[in-house]
A and B are shown apart, each in its own frame.
Chain A
Amino acid sequence: MSHSSDTDGTDGTGGTGDAELEATSGPLETGRRLIAVDHVRLGRWFLVFALVMGLWGGLDAVLLRTTLVTPTLDHWSADVYSSLFTTHGLTMLFLFAVPVIWGFAYATIPSLIRAERTAFPALAAAAFWLQIPAAILVRAGTIGSALDVAGLDPVAIGWTMYPPMSVTSSNPAVDALVAGLLFVAISTSLTAADLVVTVCRRRTIPWSDVDTFTWTVVTSAAMAVVAFPVLAGSLALLLLERAAGVGLLVGRSGPMVWLNLFWFFAHPLVYILVLPPMGITSHVLPRFAGRRLFGRRSVVYSTFAIGILSFTVWGHHLFMAGMSVSVRAVFMFVTLAVAVPSSAKLCTWLGTLWGGAIQHTAPMIASIAAIAFFIVGGVTGVFLAVAPINVLYNGTYYVVAHFHMMLVGFVAFTLVAGGYYWFPLLTGRWYDPTLAHLHVWLTIVGIIVTFGALFVVGFAELPRRIATYPPAFAPIHQLATVGAYVIAVGQLVFLLNIGRSLWVGERAGDDPWGLADEPSHAREW
C-alpha cells in the first residue's frame, strides 16, 4: 500500500483505516499524515468552528434587531445597518449552517455506512483549515473597523452582492470578503467531494441499507459539488471585475448576469442546507416515536427529486428583474413542483409521529417544533412562488419571515435537535435535560414571536433592507426584537449546557439512547 490509499478506496471493505495512513511514506505522505485526523474529531472541529461563527452571526442579528427598536435611525448610520445584514447573512449561511452540516456528516456518516474512515482524510482536514483564513477575510471589514484599521469598513453590499454596488464599492474589505468567500467555495467543494466519494466508495453496506440521513447528505454534497464551483467562478469573476474591470458585470446587462449566476448557485444552496436537516428529522423522529420511519423509500426518492429540481428554479428570484411571461410561468411551475417532494417528506414525518409512542426528549421536541416551522415556511414559500404574489411581496419583510422560518425555524432548529441527539456521541457525555428543554422552549417561543412579528410587517408590505420605517410599525418591530433577544438567551443556555456537560456531565455509554433492541436502531452508536 503506497500513496494509493487516499485515492483508490475501492475495495469496498472499508480499507484498514489509520494503519493505512501510517504505512505511507515520502514527504507528501508525511504531510498528509500530519494533517489527516480521525473523522469524528474532524466533525467536532467543524461543529466548534460553526458554533463560534454562529455566535458571531447571531451577535450581528441581535445588533440588527437593536437598531430596529426605533423607527428612525437616531444614533446609527444606514451603513451600519446594511453592513450588519450583509455580514449576518453571509456568516450564517456559509460559516455557520454549511459547516455544521459537514460536522454532523463527518461525525456520523462513516459509522453509519460502516466505513473505517473517509476517502481523503488529509484533504478533508485541509479543507477545514482553509475555512479559518476564509472566515477572517469574510469578516475583515468588521474586524478592521473594530481595530480601527484605516480603510477597512464593514461591508454593506448585501449578502447577494448584487452589482453595481459590489463592483463599485471602494472598500478594500469587499475584496477581502469576496476572496474569503472564494476560499469558502473551494473548501466546501472539497469537503463535499470527499463526502460523496466516501459514501460511494468506502461504504461496506449495500445502498439499500443506507440510512436516510446519509442519503440526504450525499445528495447535498453532490449538489454542492456542482453549485459551489459555480459560486467560485462567479466570485472570481467579481474579483476580476473589481481589480481589472473586465466589463462583464457592469453596464446594462451586468447585473442580470450576476443575478443568474448567483441564484443558479444560491437556490440549490438553500436546498443543500435544507436536505441534511430533513435527514436529521427523519433520523431522530423514529428514535423517539419508537417505530420505523414511515415510507422510507419515498424519503429517498423525494430527496433526489428535490436535489435535481432545485437546480431548475433559480428564476423565481428574478421575477422582479423583468422576465417574459412564458419564462416566468416555467419558473413558477418548477418552483411549485419542488413543493411536491417536500410535502412527501412532511407526510412521512407526520406518518411516523402518528400513533407513535412519543418520548419528550429535547431532540424530539426540537424536531417536532422544527416540522411545524417547516410547514409555515413551506406554505409561505409556495405563495411566494406564485409570480403575481411574488411581485407584491418580493421586497418586503414577508420574504425575510419566509426564509427565516425555513432557515432558523427548520434548518437551525433541526441542527439543534441533531446536536442533542448526537451529543453523547460527540462528547461522550450527557447534557442536562432540563437545561436542554429550557433551551428548546426559549428558542421555540423566540422564533414564534420574532418571525410572527416579521410576517405581520410583511403582510403590511413593509420594505426590507431599510433601517427606517413608519412609526406605526415600531411596536411590531420591537416585538421582533424582544423575540430575538429571547432566542439569544436561549443559545446562551445551550452554551451553558455544553460547558456544564463537558465539565461535570455524566458519562454516556455505548448505546446512550438505549436503542439496541428498538426497531429504530441505527449504526452510528
Chain B
Amino acid sequence: MTTSQPQSRSQGQSRSRPQPRPRPSPGGRFDPVRIVLLVALVTSHGLIRVAERYFPEFLSALGYGPIVTGLVVSIGLGVTVIITASATAGLNSGDETESGDRNAETGGFPARVVAVVSVLFATLGLFVWTGAPTLDALLGTPLSALGWLAVGVVLLQAWHSFGPVRTLWPIDTRIVGRKTRSTRTEADEFTPSGADRERDARAGTVIGALGIGAGALIVTAAIAIVGGVKTGFSIVAATGAAVTLVAAITRGVIGDTDRLPLVGRIEAPSAARGRVPDSVASVRRAVVALSDRRRWTITGDALVRLALVGSTPYLVLLFVEEQPLSLSVGGRSLMPAAMFGAFVLAEAGGALLGAIAAPRLVSAVDRRWLLTLGLAGVSLVPMALVATSSVAIVALLFAVLGCRTAIEPLRPTVGPRIRPSHDVSPDADATALGLPPPEPLQTAVRIALVPAPFVGGLLYAIHPVAAFTVATTVSLLGVRELLRSFSFERIGD
C-alpha cells in the first residue's frame, strides 16, 4: 500500500522543464489526511470503549449472567498485563529504577507496522464480536457465542496495549499500555506541542472524551432506531470494525514519509512500564523504600481505581435491567438501553468540563485537598446511582463521574507522569502527588486490578446493590488512606 507521490516521475520520463503534478498539501496540523486519520482513530476509540461499556448487556441479552461477564472482562485485563509485560520482557534489565526511554524502542518493528497491526487486531476483534452469536454455525466450531466474545476481547487487547490512541481518556477504568516519555502516540501528535506533557495529557483527555461522546451518540442512535441491544450492539461493533479498518488503511497510506514528520513513531510500551515484578520481594522492597505519605497516597488512589474498575461494567446492567430508566421527549421515547448511551454521553461531557477546569483548579486549590475531595466525590457515585431513579439525577451523577478528569493529573496511578523538570526529592512538595509509583509497585497495582471486574460480577450476582455498595466502601477506604497522609504531613517532613 505504499504510495509514491505523483510528482516522482519514473526515470526515462524526465524532462528538463518542471513537471506539473498535484503536489501534496503542506503537512502540518491541518493536513487533511492527518485529520482523517485522527477522526478515524478517535471514532474507533469511542466506539470500542462504548461497546465495552455495553458488552455486559449484550452478554445478558445472549443469556449470560454477571459472573461470566466479570470473568471475561477480567480475562481481558489480564491479557493486557501479560502482553505489555511480555512484549518487552526481553528488554528488561531487571533493575527497579525507572529505566527511562532507552528501552522504549519498538523491538525492531517499524512504527507504522505496529500501528497498523494493532488497529487491525481491533478490526478483527470487533468483527468477531459482531459475528459471535453465529460464528459457530458458519465454521462448525464449538466455541459458543461466549467463547467467540472472549476471543474478541483478547484480540482487542492489542488495541489497548499497543494501539496508537490507547492513552486517550479514560485510562483509569482499564489497563492500557503506557506511552513512554520520549516517544509519543499519534493522538498526541495532534496536540500543539510535545514539550508540555501536562497539556498533552489534557489534550488526550479532551480528544478521548470527544471520541467517547461520538461513540455514545452512535450507540444511542443505533439502539433507538433498531429498538434492541442485541442488534444495536452488532451494528456498533460492525461500525467499529469498519472505522478501525479505515484507520489502518489511512495509517498505511500515509506511510513514513517525511512530509508528515509529526506522525508516526508508535512505540511499544517501554520496558519499564509493563514489566512483571521479578518477585514479590521486589514489590515489597519498593514499598518499603517509599515514604509513608507517598505509600498512602498511592494506596488510596489505587483503591478508588479498583472500585471503579470493578463496578463500571455493571452500570449498564443496572440501568437497563435492574432500574430501567427511559425518557420520552415529544412523543418519542428513548428506551432504557438507548438511555444508557445518553448517560455515557453525560459522563463524556463531565470529562470535558473536568479537563478544561483542571489546570485552574490545580493551581488555585490545595492539591492534596483537591485530590482527596475529588476522589471522595467519585467514591460516592456508585451508591448514589443505586439510590436514584430520576433520569436527570442519574445523568448528573454520570457527569460528576466524568469530572474526575479534573483531578487526574494529581492521581499517582493514572496521572500524566509529570516529571518535575528540576530534580526534586519525590516527597518534597505537593507537586509530587501525581508522580508515578516505582515500577514494581505500578505493575502490582495493574495486576491487582485484573480480578476486580470478576469480583464485581460475583457481587452483582448476589445483589446489584451489593456490588455498588462495596465499590463505594472500597473507594472510601482509599480516601481514608489519603486522609492519613494529611495528618502525617503535619508531623513529619
Contact = CB atoms under 8 A, between A and B. Distances in A.
B376 to A, nearest CB: 44
Given A445-B245, A471-B137, A475-B131, A74 B20 contact: no
B22 interface: yes
B245 to A, nearest CB: 5
Contacts of B228: 74-75
A437 B22 contact: no
B134 A435 contact: no
A437 B252 CA distance: 11
B9 A473 contact: no
A437 B257 CA distance: 14
B50 to A, nearest CB: 17
Contacts of A361: 6, 21-22
A421 B127 CA distance: 36
A64 to B, nearest CB: 13
A512 B226 CA distance: 49
B231 A69 contact: yes
A260 B127 CA distance: 43
Given A472-B138, A475-B135, A359 B22 contact: no
A360 B32 contact: no
B116 to A, nearest CB: 12
Contacts of A482: 127, 130, 238, 241-242, 245
B249 interface: yes
Interface string A490-525: 100100110010001010110111100100000000
Contacts of A483: 242
B234 interface: yes
Consensus secondary structure, chain B interface: helix
A486 interface: yes
A246 interface: no
B33 interface: yes
A435 B3 CA distance: 11
A445 B24 CA distance: 23
Contacts of A437: 3, 253
B231 A434 contact: no
A290 interface: yes
Contact of B6 (A357, A362, A476, A481): A362
A220 B241 CA distance: 40
A474 B22 contact: no
B465 interface: no
B58 to A, nearest CB: 13
B5 interface: yes
Contact of A430 (B17, B23, B36, B225): B23
Contact of A70 (B234, B239, B245): B234
Nearest to B130: A478
A474 B138 contact: yes
Contacts of B330: none
Contacts of B245: 445, 449, 482, 486
A432 B32 contact: yes
A486 B246 contact: yes
A452 interface: no
Given A69-B235, A75-B231, A514 B15 contact: yes
Interface string B20-37: 111111000001110010
A11 to B, nearest CB: 36
Nearest to A72: B231
Nearest to B232: A75
B13 interface: yes
B20 A512 contact: yes
Contacts of B243: 485, 489
B33 A432 contact: yes
Contact of B5 (A290, A358, A433, A506): A433
Nearest to A472: B137
B130 A497 contact: no
A517 B238 contact: no
Contacts of A441: 1, 249, 252-253
Interface residues of B, number: 52
Contacts of A431: 22
Contacts of A433: 5-6, 21-24
Interface residues of A, number: 57
Contacts of A438: 33, 36, 249-250, 253
Contact of A478 (B1, B19, B23, B238): B238
A15 to B, nearest CB: 32
A71 interface: yes
B36 A493 contact: yes
Contacts of B138: 472-476
Contacts of A362: 6
Contacts of A357: 10-13
Interface in A358-388: 358-362, 365
Interface in A322-381: 357-362, 365
Nearest to B35: A496
A508 B20 CA distance: 8
Most buried by B among A360, A436, A475, A496: A475
Contacts of B22: 361, 430-433, 436, 506, 508, 512
A66 interface: yes
B181 interface: no
A489 B20 contact: no
Interface in B212-266: 225-228, 230-231, 234-235, 238-239, 241-243, 245-246, 249-250, 252-254
A489 B230 CA distance: 25
Contact of B10 (A359, A474, A514): A359
B421 interface: no
A472 B138 CA distance: 4
B193 interface: no
A482 B20 CA distance: 38
B4 interface: yes
Nearest to B34: A434
B36 A69 contact: no
A486 B40 CA distance: 11
Contacts of A432: 22, 24-25, 32-33
Given A75-B228, A475-B127, A500-B32, 17 more contacts: A74-B228, A74-B230, A359-B10, A434-B253, A441-B249, A471-B137, A475-B130, A476-B138, A478-B234, A478-B238, A482-B130, A489-B242, A504-B25, A506-B23, A508-B22, A512-B22, A513-B21
Please list the 9 inter-chain residue pairs (A to B) with the smallest Cβ-Cβ separation, ordered nearest first: A485-B242, A475-B131, A472-B137, A474-B134, A357-B10, A430-B22, A75-B226, A361-B6, A433-B22
Interface of A: 66, 69-71, 74-76, 290, 357-362, 365, 430-438, 441-442, 445, 449, 470-476, 478-479, 481-483, 485-486, 489-490, 493, 496-497, 500, 504, 506, 508-509, 511-514, 517
19 contacts: A70-B234, A361-B21, A362-B6, A433-B24, A434-B31, A434-B32, A434-B253, A438-B33, A438-B249, A441-B249, A442-B249, A449-B245, A472-B134, A472-B137, A478-B127, A478-B130, A481-B242, A485-B242, A486-B242
